[in-house]
Structure 1
């Protein structure tokens, strides 16, 4: 079948880089493609914190609609932005090999760490973990695509801002003055790229299956199962990371209060071929040990 695959993407530099990576991989396999950039609600409204906008999938919704109305055939996402429940008629078609999953602090000097300081981030997860470690600091909201956020950091008097390492690496924007936050548990599926297609589109689903990276798929599904069981949307302060080494899956997950004063963390291991339900089991353990009450409080504040 000589079909041109229409690839939907957000129009930021990072989103276009991700879409072009998928485009290149498909063209290498001999397929014709066409990029279709679309602006998302999350990109258009930069003044309001994400959790106040009351939508999960704020960066994916516009592309979902474009796909269901047959304007595009597939869409490329940063997987951490994708809700754990996909819209009816849309399915995961490929998870590419995961990049760096860590968070990094882009800073103007590190003297402030042991005194007072101001950090910028639009993520409740990053804010909660930062305040848990540095309760004396102030955290301000920072929105926009990667380039916009880097510019805002330069223009303001903040001491630093937190970014996903993979985002900066992909578009060669990592500055010299950064610190890897090894202690911070990343967002579920951070560093992973997801390609979705219509459930009924067998051609695209079969074509994209060649791009799927099985090990990355196992890890991010475990993390997202953990997230889904805790009932956290994309904006809740929940972190999860699964890594496979020598046939063993190492998992760590965390749930945090919005102000960082409370945290529930878990670390477990399982054989990499026995991960079914493992993320759920880890989340249930956190819920049983006090996480359930905390989630209730978080939902009351964010509703």
Structure 2
């Protein structure tokens, strides 16, 4: 049986770029496809910080519903936006080869770094890590797709804003006035694209299996397991990065307080064939070293 695989995607420029990349890969393996753009609640509400909206998977929920209703066959996501537990009957189809994992600062000059300054980001993880390094700075909320955020940075008197390098590189709008934030631990699965399908859709799942990049899949699963064991969602200031270097997995993860004053970190190097439960082991170490108490504080702050 052949069928046209309907690809669900958010309708931002970056999301469409990702969906078209998947579309080209599927068509190169002989499959017919159709793009189906959908607006998510996270895209529509640009005034409220993500963590205040109280919805797990705010950028994926609309596509999940469309898939369950049979309006689309697969959905393409930035994997860092995907909840660690997928909805019932929806499964991972493929993790594409991972792009740049680095966070970058787009700035209007760097003199402010050693003085007072204002940085914009909608991410609690980025905010906490920035304040940990630069406690005298102010961090303001910044929402919207990458184009909207770049425009807001231009229009405001902020010193800079933090972005994922991968998003700007994919749609070729990364400006010259940036620095890599190599000290900042990225979000679990940052730079990775995930394609999901219905569990009972054997045709689409078989088509997607040819697109899976095993090394990327292993690394992001370690990071997402780390995130899931720590707090089961996408709101706390948690960073995690796994890399495979010469048959060894190098993992670094951390939990921060929202104000950046507290940092609980873990680093491990294990043989590549021992990746099972690495994320869980690292998360449990953080929880035992004060992370459980810190997570309670974070959840209490976010509820109020």
Smaller-chain TM-score bracket: over 0.9
Q: 1:235 offset after TM fit, Å? A: 1.8
Aligned runs of 1:249-268 on 2, under 5 Å?
249-268=249-268
Q: Give me the whole-angstrom Cα distance separating, in 1, the residues matched to 2:94 and 2:248.
A: 23
Aligned twin of 1:173: 173
Q: Give me the whole-angstrom Cα distance separating, in 1, the residues matched to 2:47 and 2:250.
A: 38
Q: Give me the whole-angstrom Cα distance separating, in 2, the residues matched to 1:193 and 1:271.
A: 25
Q: Give me the whole-angstrom Cα distance separating, in 1, the residues matched to 2:122 and 2:231.
A: 20
Give the TM-score normalised by structure 2.
0.99
Contact 1:251 1:269 in 2 (8 A): yes
Q: How many residues align?
A: 303
Cα displacement string for residues 183-237 of structure 1 (whole angstroms, at most 9, x for unaligned residues): 0000000000000000000111111000000000000000000000001421210
Unaligned runs of 5+ in 1: none
Cα displacement string for residues 76-125 of structure 1 (whole angstroms, at most 9, x for unaligned residues): 00000000000001000000000000100000000000000000000000
Contact 2:84 2:232 in 1 (8 A): no
Aligned runs of 1:1-303 on 2, under 5 Å?
1-303=1-303
Two-structure CA RMSD over aligned residues (Å): 0.5
Q: Give me the whole-angstrom Cα distance separating, in 1, the residues matched to 2:177 and 2:276.
A: 40
Q: Give me the whole-angstrom Cα distance separating, in 2, the residues matched to 1:302 and 1:34.
A: 40
> SS at 1:261's partner residue?
coil
> SS at 1:48's partner residue?
coil
Give the TM-score normalised by structure 1.
0.99
Contact 1:238 1:256 in 2 (8 A): yes
Unaligned runs of 5+ in 2: none
Q: Give me the whole-angstrom Cα distance separating, in 2, the residues matched to 1:245 and 1:132.
A: 28
Q: 1:2 offset after TM fit, Å? A: 2.0
Contact 1:232 1:238 in 2 (8 A): no
> SS at 1:31's partner residue?
coil
